[in-house]
A and B are shown apart, each in its own frame.
Chain A
Amino acid sequence: MGNDTTAQTVIFTQRVDAGGVTHYLVVRNGPEAGRHIEVTTEGQQMGRSEADVTMADRAVSKLHCEIVMFGDSLIVKDLGSTNGTFIDGQEVTSPASLPVGSMLQVGETLLVHEVRTPEEVAQDEQLSEDVDRAVEYVLSLLPEPLLDGPVRTQWRYIPSAQLGGDAFGYHKLDDDHWVLYLVDVCGHGMGAALHTVSVMNTLRNGTLPNVDFTVPEQVLKALNRAYPMEDHGGKYCTIWYGVYQLSTRQLVFGAAGHPPALLLKADSEHVDELDIRGLPIGMIEDAEYTSSDVVIPEAATLYVYSDGVYEIVTKDGRNGTLKDLIDIIEGPEQPGLGEPERIEKAVRDQMAGTAFDDDFSLLVVSF
C-alpha cells in the first residue's frame, strides 16, 4: 500500500485478533452483495482498479480509500475519490474511525464492518445467496409494464440490501375491471420476502373464499383474517388496493395501513391524495375496512408506492416525508426519462448516500 507513515505502522501492531476472529468488510448491496473482504494487518487500499481490493462499482474511483486497523476499529481515509467515502452517512474528510457495526459507503457500495469467525463467514455467504434467489423470485412475480391499452403501467422496483417486503401487481379481473395493488411487509430479509410472496400469490390467484375482488374492503378484510401476525411470525403488511372500471372510469380503492395513492390530473399542477385509512393487514382480528372512489379523467396518472420511496435520510440530514415525494411528482417532466426513473433520480438527488435502506417500489399508472 502507498502513503505509509510511521504512525500507521504503529497502528498495525495494535491489531486485536482475539479468539481467531477476523475483521471483515461485508458488502451489503449491488452485484457483490455478501462478499466478505478480509481486512489484513497491513491495511488495504480500495478502488475500482489499481488497488489492493478492487470493487465492481462504476461509482468507485480507481483508487478510492484506504483502510487500516486500530484496535477494534478500522481507520478510513479517503484518497481524493470523486464520489466521496462515507461512514454512517457522514462524509470522511479526514481519517475517521469505522467501529464494528458501522456502515462504510464507497461509491454506491455499502459495506459493514464485522468481526467474524471463518465458520460464520461461510454461513453468511450461503444466506446472501439465498437472499439473491429471493430477490429473483420476487422480481419474477412482478408483471410486465403495460405499454398499450386503456390502462398503461410503468414501475421501478429497487430491493434494499437486506431485501424488504415489497411487491406489487395488476391484472384484469374481467373485461371491465382491472385490479392494482402494492404490498409492503414489515421488516427485511427472507422472512419478509416469504410473507410477501404468500400475500401476492393470494391476490394474483384470487384465492380468498367468498370474496368479490372488485370490492376492496372485502379483499382487505379477508386478507386480514387470513394473515394474522401471530400466526405469521409476527409479520404484518400494508396494502393499497384499487379496482378500475373501464366503462365508467371509476377507481374504487381501499388501504390497510398504506400511504395514500396520488392522482395527478392532466389539467392540474397538484396531486390529489387518495387518502383512506385502515389498519395494516394482520394487526388485529376483525379489523374493518372501507373503500372510496374517484372518477379518473382522461390522461390522468396514478402513483402507488411504498414508504421506502420517500422515507430516506436527505443530504441535509432530515427524514424525507410524503410531502417531499409529492413535490417531486408535481415537478416538471424530464425529457428522455420515464416517470418512475425521473422520480427515482429526484429522490436520489435528495438522498444522503446512494443506497436505499428500504425497498423502493413505485407503480405509475396512466389512464
Chain B
Amino acid sequence: MELSIISEDKPFSHVKLSGRLDTAGVDFVETSFVAATAEGGKPAVVDMSEVDFMGSMGIRMLVAAAKKLAGQGEKLVLLNPHEFVDETMKNADLYMLIPVAYSEEEAVTLLGLG
C-alpha cells in the first residue's frame, strides 16, 4: 500500500492511494493519509485508480477522513475508483457520504471550487 502526495499547491489536498486497501494496507498508510487529507485544512481529492481492493477497514479510513472534513465544512472526493472499489462503495451506499469523480475537473466542481 502506498500513499503519494500528488500536489500541495492546489486549493485542495490531492493524494493518491495505490495497492490493496485491506487491514494491513490501512495500518500502513492511515496516519499519513489522515494527516494529508483530514488534517490538511482544505478539501481533499483521493485518486483511487490504483487501489484494486478495499476492505472494511479501508472504508472506515475514508469515511473517518470524510467525516472529519465535513466537520470543518469541507468535502472529500474519490477520483477514478477501480471497478472493484466502485462496487464496494455502491453496495455500502457510501457515495452518499463520499462523492466520486471521474476527472480532476469534475472533482474540483464537486468540491465547490470550480
Contacts and interface: CB of A to CB of B under 8 A. Distances in A.
Interface stretch (A22-30, A183-191, A343-351): A183-191
A319 B90 CA distance: 17
B92 A284 contact: no
A185 B57 CA distance: 10
B91 A283 contact: no
Interface stretch (A10-18, A139-147, A272-280): A272-280
B87 A311 contact: no
Contact of A186 (B60, B67, B90): B60
**Majority SS at the chain A contact face:** loop
Contact of A319 (B53, B60, B63, B91): B53
Contacts of B59: 186, 280
A277 B57 contact: no
A321 interface: yes
A357 B53 CA distance: 13
Interface string A246-285: 0000000000011110000000000000000111100110
A258 B56 CA distance: 11
A187 B52 contact: no
Contacts of A258: 91-92
Interface in A309-366: 311, 319, 321-322, 357-358
Contact of A257 (B52, B55, B57, B91): B91
A358 to B, nearest CB: 7
A236 B60 contact: yes
Interface in A278-317: 278-280, 283-284, 307, 311
Contact of B92 (A234, A238, A358): A238
Interface string A173-207: 00000000000111110000000000000000000
Interface stretch (B10-18, B93-101, B105-113): B93-101
Interface residues of A, number: 27
Contacts of B6: none
Contacts of B87: 321-322
A358 B64 contact: no
B2 interface: no
A235 to B, nearest CB: 8
A278 B52 CA distance: 23
Nearest to A236: B60
A283 B23 contact: no
- Counting from the closest, the 6 A-B pairs by CB-CB distance are A186-B56, A257-B92, A277-B93, A259-B91, A279-B93, A319-B53
Interface of B: 22-23, 52-53, 55-57, 59-60, 63-64, 67, 84, 87-88, 90-94, 96-97
Given A186-B56, A284-B97, A321-B87, 16 more contacts: A162-B23, A184-B56, A187-B60, A229-B60, A236-B56, A238-B56, A257-B91, A257-B93, A277-B91, A277-B93, A279-B94, A280-B92, A283-B97, A284-B67, A307-B91, A322-B87
